[in-house]
Homo-oligomer: A and B are copies of this chain.
Amino acid sequence: MQSCKEMKGKTYRSGVYNLNTTDGFEYQTFCDMITDGGGWTLVASIHENNAHDNGRCTVGDKWSSEQGNNQNTKHGDGNWENLKTFGNVASATSDDFKSLAYFSIDDAKDVMIWQVPNNTPLSMWRSNSYLRYRTYSQFLSGLGGNLQNLFQSYYPIRQGVYSPGSDSGPSFPVKYDEGSPADTLTHFGTDIQAYLTAGYIQLRTVNHAQHINAMCLGVKVDASGKEHYANACIGGSSFWGGESNCGDSSGMTQDGYGTGTGRSVDKTLIETTFLIFYR
């Protein structure tokens, strides 16, 4: 079985299953078999291990850079696009996680996001998630069938290369299974909310200084807010100039840790793990 989708309609038991790849690897991951008929494969998690000033682009920032704030590596650490894996399913809310599924599944159509408090055990992911939403436009079908192909071939993470704002990627509307667009919005910095429209995910944003974020989860950023992608979006490039926006959660603590004011998200959001599923 190469993805949880193969079990859709056959079981409603969510949990840990054995998958394999066409190359012959065997591995374990989590299948959600409940949401909209099930068939969702957990492929990755984004976990902010340290959003304080000493944690900007240091160890644990695998979705941006573990090697500091610098402009030599224009793709950051490259993990959105390469074949590296890290972490594991059981630790997905305590550590960054990238499964073989992230790039070995190649027929994914939609993504689902669960926002879960850090360090939540697997058995409580669903019940403890405060936001759950998913795309329904099958956008991945036309963009490589998985996120690795999407970022490598369609929306590369390359700082200093793309045009501010206009080269930002598309956004796709989501349906909520837990929470709402209004709930989503409340977690972002009060000065930033005016630039956001909740109920979307957005791909590969390019800010005014050509710095890159990989994804905006739960929101899209209006064109007038291109100076604020870092305050609302995650992961991406490893260079942010003199700004304190480097790291997996980027500029989400630019005006203080968990304050929820100015450009900083609230404590709930900064201590959240984003679980990413394909179907």
Using a CB–CB cutoff of 8 Å, the interface residues on chain A facing chain B are 15-17, 21-26, 28, 49-50, 52-55, 58-60, 66-68, 70, 72-73, 77-78, 81-85, 87-91, 93-95, 100, 104, 118-119, 121-123
Closest Cβ of chain B: how far from A73's Cβ, in Å? 6
Please classify the interface of chain A as helix (H, G, I), strand (E, B), loop, or mixed, using the class held by over half of its residues. Answer: loop
Given contacts A15-B24, A90-B100, contact A73 B85 (CB under 8 A): no
- Residues on B with beta carbons closer than 8 Å to the beta carbon of A68: 54, 58
> A60 CB to closest chain B CB, in angstroms?
7
**Which of B23, B54, B78 is the one whose CB lies under 8 Å from A73?**
B54
Q: Is the CB of A83 within 8 A of B53?
A: no
Q: What is the minimal beta-carbon distance from A202 to any residue of chain B, in angstroms?
A: 25
Query: From A81, which residue of chain B is reached at the shortest CB distance?
Result: B119
Copies assembled: 3
Chain B residues with Cβ under 8 A from A59's Cβ? 59, 66-67
In the bound complex, what is the Cα–Cα distance between A23 and B21 (angstroms)?
22
* Distance A94 CA – B88 CA, assembled complex (angstroms): 18
Q: Which chain B residue has the least Cβ–Cβ distance from A238?
A: B54
12 residue pairs from A and B, CB less than 8 Å apart: A16-B23, A17-B24, A22-B123, A23-B122, A23-B123, A52-B70, A54-B68, A55-B72, A58-B67, A58-B68, A83-B119, A90-B100
Contact pick for A21, options B22, B72, B90, CB 8 Å: B90
Among B70, B77, B84, B91, point to the contact of A84 (Cβ < 8 A).
B91
Residue pair A90, B23 in contact (C-beta under 8 Å):
yes
What is the CA–CA distance of A118 and B77 in the complex, to the nearest angstrom?
Answer: 13
Neighbouring B residues of A52 by C-beta, 8 Å: 70, 72-73
Q: Which of B26, B67, B82, B83 contacts A55 (CB 8 A)?
A: B67
CB distance from A22 to the nearest CB of B (A): 8
Q: Are A88 and B85 closer than 8 Å at their CB atoms?
A: yes
Closest to A74 in B: B52
Contact A121 B83, CB 8 Å, known A23-B90, A66-B60, A89-B25: yes
| Chain B residues within 8 Å of A85, by CB | 88, 90-91, 95
C-alpha gap A58/B49 in the complex (Å): 15
In Å, the complex CA distance between A59 and B60 comes to 10
CB atoms of B88 and A93 under 8 A apart: no
Whole-angstrom distance from the CB of A81 to the nearest CB of chain B? 8
A28 touches B28 (CB 8 A): no
Nearest-Cβ distance from residue A119 to partner chain B, whole angstroms: 5
